[in-house]
Structure 1
């Protein structure tokens, strides 16, 4: 019976079309790159690829020769922003320990502020200046956005930069005791986490650009991942007081975003940068106030 069935299929193969008769032959062509592209399009793979992109975008470090970012690339990197902030904070803590053995608190704080500006490539401070210049313009929305996109720093931008830098310096000088080390670590992380509520609650002011990318192409898992790093670090270092720090950073970021959105009918990448800087300062100032009254006792000293 088996021999008759085999003979039957051999006889049928004689009249099958050529395309059908070669269906089961091993192909001699090179493998199609489609499976590789499909693999690279998986959310988990794209999310992991966002880590080096976040490092390149938020710091002057360059891991690759070509840096070309689209909307999806920016969105995938968002989940890693607080982790980059944690790395910057750890570097600040290590630098503070080394400098405190050589210099008094005031010049140490100046060098820490300088390191913080260099570690971000001045990206967020540029956002502070551009946002202040745009909000100071006496004109319509288009004129404000035009001033922000020019890149020239005006009087309002210079004043905003001075205020932010002086606030950072004063806060770092005032940090003392067991609060100082975890404060230096957690503030850069929470500042960079603050882009999450801004991106979720405010629409972009431009149809293109970083602000648009943050809000329209963000992966569903990017915001939870950023929250895991940012909020998780605050709670791990300060316990329940870390929740208060998260609220303080969120309120500061939303306040900046709401003021900008009222004038610009949305937010831009510069507004995100300003929100990061202001939230970071607010976290430090909150810890200074809490340290004065004994309200914040870090779990890790």
Structure 2
């Protein structure tokens, strides 16, 4: 009994710190999800409505309070409809979290083949889109292209993208050292602040990174710049060594890279 009393007294001391720590973690986790899904505007709108309601309540503006109470159910339904894509991405990001996942991620290999191909195509002025599968399956994306299920080699990638084959305009889906499909179509980004200088390849890579946890490697057909897109961010014109390092981190441990380059970076991509 004496032990239980001491434990209870100790918990009473620790409880406020534990409560604040868990709350801070949840707030930080929610903020990261909002930033990654570009749903920060949804948060701003919600905070604005709460502020208006609080001001009306404090100042006893009965007519405004009456109107807000009537409109509240409709506003909730309207927000759910208007921001349906953002809400969908929020739940996708929650499902992608490491602490909700059981098991370990298989180690990705053959990065040298991909990087060799990227450098060859960059020098030749040919474009490329390579999608690395992580936790989210990309079956729907793979079905938009041609199934290959082939071993990943530099020569095969050069054949696909280095010539005007029927598959060179789409993306290849890579998983576990295999090319699952080629000529796949990716969803275009919904972000509004992308410079017009970026063409379809960069917009498609960014669009897939907004909807899934995939990592997309892009080779610009016009400038030869090699870039990465993941977590709703475009990391433009990176050095080969930096791209290899980030891919090893992302595909092994899921650790994030450094700060993203501005998606409005000068550099034009042909559609």
User: Smaller-chain TM-score range?
Assistant: under 0.3
- The higher radius of gyration belongs to 1
- With a CA cutoff of 8 Å and minimum separation of 6, indicate the structure with the bigger relative contact order: 1
Q: TM-score, normalised by structure 2?
A: 0.25
Q: By percentage of residues, which structure has more helix?
A: 1
